[in-house]
Amino acid sequence: MFGPLEVESWVAGRRKGLQDVRGRVEEIIAAVRGRGDSALIEFARKYDASGMLPLRVEEDEFEAAYEEVEPELVEALLEAEARITRFHELQRPRDLWMQELEPGIVLGEKVTPLDRIGIYVPGRRAAYPSSVLMSAIPAKVAGVREICCCTPPPIHPLTLVALDVVGVKEVYRAGGAQAVAAMALGTASIRKVQKIVGPGNVYVTMAKILLREEAEIDFPAGPSEIGIIADETANPLFIAMDILAQAEHDPEAACILITTSEVLALSVKKDVERLVGGMERGEILRESLERSGYRLVRGMDEAVREMDRIAPEHLSIQVKDPLPVLQRIRHAGAIFIGPYSPVACGDYASGTNHVLPTAGYAQVYSGLDVMHFCKRITIQQLTQEGLEGIAGVVESLAEAEGLQAHAESVRVRIR
C-alpha cells in the first residue's frame, strides 16, 4: 500500500490522471457551450440528487444555514477569516507609484483589480468552507467588485455560512467541469467571469486548463499532494498523519516521502498501514495510498534535487537542520518546516493560502495570492528635457527596425 517508488513514475502519474479525463471534459465543455443552463441542469440530474433545485442560491438559504451550524463552528470560521485576511493584506501592493528615474523621465505603476471573478468550491464528498475563505479573501483584499461561486449540490450549510462570512452572495448549484465551463463561457443564469480560481478534482482542473482562452485561471490546482523530506530525527507518526491528511482528500491524491533513513521509511509505512483502518474515509485513503510511497536517498543534496523535480503542492521539511534545505529548495507550492507545522494548519487557519499548484506546476506557478486578482499598468511621463535626453536612442532603434513613424513621432516634438 505504501512502499518504495521511483520519482520519475510518481511525477508522470500526476500528469497522466489529467490527460485521462481530457476527452470527457471536452465533451462537457461543448455541452455547456451549446446548451448553457439546460446542460447544467442535465448534469445535475445525472450526478446530484438535488439537481432539480434552482441553480442560484436564494438569500433566505444563507440565513437558514446558520440554524444548522454550531455556533463554535461559526466562531472558528470568523477566526480563520481574520487570520487569512491579515496575511493577505500584507501582500497588497501600492495602488499607484511614480518615481523620477532621471531628469525629466518619471516612470511608475498603477495596480487595478479585476472586475469579476469566479471561485470553484469542491463539494459532494465533504464540505470545504476553508476553500471559500482561501479563494474569496485575496480577491476581496485586492478589491474585486464581483465574485460568484459555483459548488456542487447539495451545498453544505457550513459552506453557505462561509460564503456569507466573506460576503459572496452570488452562488450557484453547479459542480465539476460543467461549472467551470459555465463561469468561463457564461450562460443565461451565470454571467461570464474574467478569471476562475479554486481547487478541484481532475475534471475541474482539466476544464480550467482547456478554458484558459475564455477566462484566465489561477493554475492547475488538484487533486491534493504532499512531499516530505525527512531524516532519522523525524517522528514517523507525525509524518504518517501528514500523509493520511492529504490522502483523505481525494482518491487521486498522492503523497511521497523522500528520506535518508530506511528505518524511518519503514516506520512510517508501518504507521500508515496501522492507522488507515481506523479512518472514516478508508476507501478514499486506500486508493490514494496506492499511488503514494517513499524514496530512499543518500543525502540532503539528493533529497532536494528529487523534490525539486516533483515540485509538490505541499512540502514538509522534517530534518534536524531545516534551514539549509529550505534555502536550496526552488519549487513547491507551500513549505511547512519542522515537526510542529502540520499542513492542516495551512489548510485552515495559520493565514497562508491553501489554493496551490499541483502535478508539478509549482515549478512555474505561485500559490493563490492577492496579485492573482490584480493587473499592473505601467505609467510614464516625460518632460521636454526628458524626451531630448532619450530621443537619440529611440530614433536610432526605430530606424534600425524600419519604423519611420516611430522615429518621426519623437523628432516632431523636439524640433
Which residues carry out catalysis?
Answer: 313-314
- Give the residue from 235, 390, 377 showing the smallest Cα distance to 318: 235
Angle subtended at Cα 342 by Cα 301 and Cα 312, rounded to the nearest 5 degrees: 45
- Give the residue from 231, 233, 174, 239 showing the smallest Cα distance to 36: 174
By the 8 A CB rule, do 336 and 315 touch?
Answer: yes
By the 8 A CB rule, do 3 and 269 touch?
Answer: yes
Pairing of strands 116-120, 146-151: parallel
For 225, which DSSP code? E
Q: Where are the beta strands (DSSP E) in 353-414?
A: 374-382
Q: What single letter denotes the amino acid at residue 64?
A: A
By the 8 A CB rule, do 350 and 83 touch?
Answer: yes
By the 8 A CB rule, do 122 and 131 touch?
Answer: yes
Q: What single letter denotes the amino acid at residue 72?
A: E
- Give the residue from 249, 77, 222, 56 showing the smallest Cα distance to 163: 77
Residue matched to cell numbers 463561469: 183
Which cell goes with 57? Answer: 442560491
- Give the residue from 346, 410, 412, 386 showing the smallest Cα distance to 80: 346
Longest dimension (CA), the chain: 84
Residue matched to cell numbers 451550524: 69
Residue matched to cell numbers 536550496: 328
- CA pair distance 153, 282, nearest whole angstrom: 23
Q: What are phi and psi of 52, to 5 degrees?
A: -85, -10
By the 8 A CB rule, do 207 and 187 touch?
Answer: no
- CA pair distance 353, 350, nearest whole angstrom: 9
